[in-house]
Structure 1
């Protein structure tokens, strides 16, 4: 029987940072995005409002800067290796993130079977944010269910990897989960916890574990 491995992006695959932070670094706007991130974490900004303010902040963003942000991000080691092993076993791997889809979808080239992020305007921004395209924590569960249906699997066949409150609903729906450099919101409910900078070590916690 196959399994579906579901990975968060910010703080999970990217160590101690987020797509929005790495993009803002390219523009010299670390302080400004830090203020938005803090407000978002405190529940003062909804995901759509965060996206609207970030689009305003990134008015001069270009595709080369997005590429540089992606390449320069502090990724965990071994991501490609883990996904290659997962697929060699006949299993699936997907990334589900609230971050911009134009950043998240670059992980398809690294071996992810699917990569889902929020639907932001195309870069360079000429259109406003469509709130309907911005994901939230509940959307992670919806997309996971859609992927299960696509691959002929169920929630019992899923393994989730995440680090924060936006992953808690997903962790609650699957039998096996790995809190990666996580806060208490998911660490306290995860099947396993990992602290470090190598995804191969986190994956090893569940690679050969019996099904729940």
Structure 2
């Protein structure tokens, strides 16, 4: 991505992370594993990923083994029971009403992420997994990592006809740092220390409408913090 220093032009593209951002204090993998009674197992795997440098494709391979008996009904229950921020649908409806665009980019399985299309997001990009119930192994090249977010953001800019200079990114953790470094306006949502110094705005709370309001106030020249 380039041209991040140019003045703001027309339509904007709002890019949302999923785990820890739209889902507060949790992740798709955690919610799926809870349905299978595998919370302790996924917690160990998450620690290997977050603290010990486990690659995202290897995480997916091991998670696929844990979830060998996963059913579509359990995926639906995990999605419906996740601790989502309030106001997600309303924020996305407002973005679209303004003529702007919104998308989710997540390392989580696409079979979970794409359910957000029903909530009004225009694109929902996740790691490519086999369909549930699984009959195939993980295709490692289809698993996203942090750098993939930058690539996909660029592709979405082309799809929606938006300049990188007109993107806003929302995230919570180190996996969002590369994207935060490439767009001019960013919102740290219930974020860890990795993003504190990188973000334009900071939000701590349970309502996406409040985080989105920081962006709207920033457009009026008053960026800030909420929470």
Judge same fold: TM > 0.5, yes or no: yes
Tell me how far apart the structure 2 counterparts of residues 86 and 157 of structure 1 sit (CA, whole Å).
Answer: 13
The aligned residue for residue 81 of structure 2 is 72
Aligned partner of 1:91 in structure 2 is 100
User: How big is the alpha-carbon RMSD for the aligned residues of Structure 1 and Structure 2?
Assistant: 1.1
Q: Report matched runs for 1:122-161 at 5 Å.
A: 122-161=131-170
* Corresponding residue of 1:176: 185
CA deviations 1:127-181 (Å, max 9, x no partner) are 1111100000010000000000111111101000000000000000011000000
Report the CA distance between 1:43 and its aligned residue.
3.5
- CA deviations over 1:74-119 (Å, ceiling 9, x no partner): 0000000000000000000000000000000000000001000000
Q: Any idea what SS the aligned residue of 1:207 has?
A: helix
- The Cα of 1:211 is off from its aligned counterpart by 8.4
What's the offset of the Cα at 1:31? 0.2
Equivalent runs, 1:114-125 vs 2, <5 Å: 114-125=123-134
Question: Given the two structures, how large is their TM-score scaled by the length of structure 1?
Answer: 0.98
Does 1:35 pair with 2:44? yes
The counterpart of 1:102, out of the listed 104, 111, 125, is 111
Q: What SS does the corresponding residue of 1:74 show, helix, strand or coil?
A: coil
Question: Does residue 1:5 correspond to 2:17, yes or no?
Answer: no
Structure-1 separation of matches of 2:34 and 2:182: 35
Native 8 Å contact 1:163 1:187 kept in 2: no
Partner of 1:204: 213
| SS of alignment partner, residue 161 of structure 1 | strand
Is structure 2 residue 199 aligned with structure 1 residue 190?
yes
Aligned with 1:205: secondary structure?
Answer: helix
- CA gap of 1:211–1:166, structure 2 versus 1, over 3 A, is farther
Equivalent of residue 91 in structure 2, options 82, 103, 106: 82
> Where in structure 2 are there 5+ consecutive unaligned residues?
1-9, 222-227
Aligned length: 212
Cα offset for 1:209? 2.6
Q: TM-score, normalised by structure 2?
A: 0.92
2: CA distance, partners of 1:126 / 1:181: 37
**Separation in structure 2 between the aligned mates of residue 174 and residue 100 of structure 1, nearest angstrom:** 25
